[in-house]
Amino acid sequence: MNIKQWIAMGMALGCSTAVFANTTDVIVSGVIKPSACTPSLSGGGTFDFGVITAAELREDRVTRFKSQPQQLAVNCGAPTRFALRGVDGRADSNMLPSNVTFGLGTNDLDQRIGAYFLQGIGSSVVVDGNSSVTRLITADSGKSWAPDSNSINFSLYNGKEGHFHGFAVDAQIPTAIKQLTADLQVDMSISALKNLTVTDDITIDGASTIEVSYL
């Protein structure tokens, strides 16, 4: 290597500059929400059985009472896939534990008063003006769906994990719905008198909510 080459290399090395960089993170965020769906009941959701006398109750078996129906309506801002269930606010007092019964509270002796179903009238179900509706059920939070085997009425689930009702038109899974209407009644059973002490007034105290879950 001659002197000229050494000089050229020295100049090249002398001109080499290290590049340093500072960074800042970029985060892109946001939430895409489904159109809101609002459930309502035509009577405000209160099913009042008035005064029931002890003389009306059976000694050795439950006594059943059915309310007048109220119209359940679910209105969505845009067609939305959703499922329904009830959630029991008195689950510890349920006299007939199952996944479709709800508690009625207890008397002063902590005896369970009874239980009730939130019963939908099958023939009253209308989806966006269409009465040819397939009622569906799931026990795994919507991973799989099956037709409701009860061909007449249906009882809302009471909040058991993964259990919901869905509704479809010309499909085997829940379809996007803008409006659902159905008549809903309370089918109530009061405990047999042999299991329920009635020496003072007993307040029937069922409390539940109807929940819309988006799919």
pLDDT, tens only, 151-201: 789 999 999 999 999 999 999 999 999 999 999 999 999 999 999 999 999
What mean pLDDT, rounded, does the chain reach?
91
**pLDDT band (50, 70, 90) for residue 4:** very low
Q: What is the pLDDT of residue 5?
A: 44
What whole-number percentage of the chain has pLDDT above 70?
Answer: 91
> How far, rounded to the nearest angstrom, does the alpha carbon of residue 203 sit from its chain's CA centroid?
27
**pLDDT given at position 130:** 97
pLDDT at residue 19, as a whole number: 67
Q: In the numeric block, which tokens belong to residue 79? A: 């067609």
Strands 102-103 and 114-121: antiparallel
| Mean pLDDT for the stretch of residues 83-101 | 96
- d(Cα 114, Cα 62) in Å, to the nearest integer? 8
CA 109 to chain centre: 32
6 pLDDT band, cuts 50/70/90, is: very low
Residues 204-210 have a mean pLDDT of 96
pLDDT for the residue numbered 17 = 57
CB 115 within 8 A of CB 88: no
Asked whether the beta carbons of 155 and 88 are under 8 A apart, the reply is no
Tell me the average pLDDT across 4-28.
61
Q: What integer pLDDT is reported at residue 9 of this predicted model? A: 40
Phi and psi (nearest 5°) for 198? -115, 80
Residue 3: pLDDT above 70? no
Higher pLDDT, 10 or 65: 65
Q: How far does Cα 185 stand from its chain's mean position?
A: 17
Residue count of the chain: 215
Average pLDDT of the segment spanning 44-53: 96
Q: What is the pLDDT of residue 32?
A: 81
> Is residue 105's pLDDT more than 80?
yes
For CA atoms 140, 141, 147, 152, the dihedral sign is positive
How many whole angstroms separate alpha carbon 58 and alpha carbon 98?
22
Give percent of the chain with pLDDT exceeding 90: 82
Assess whether pLDDT exceeds 80 at residue 15: no
Assigned fold of 38-45+58-214: Immunoglobulin-like (2.60.40)
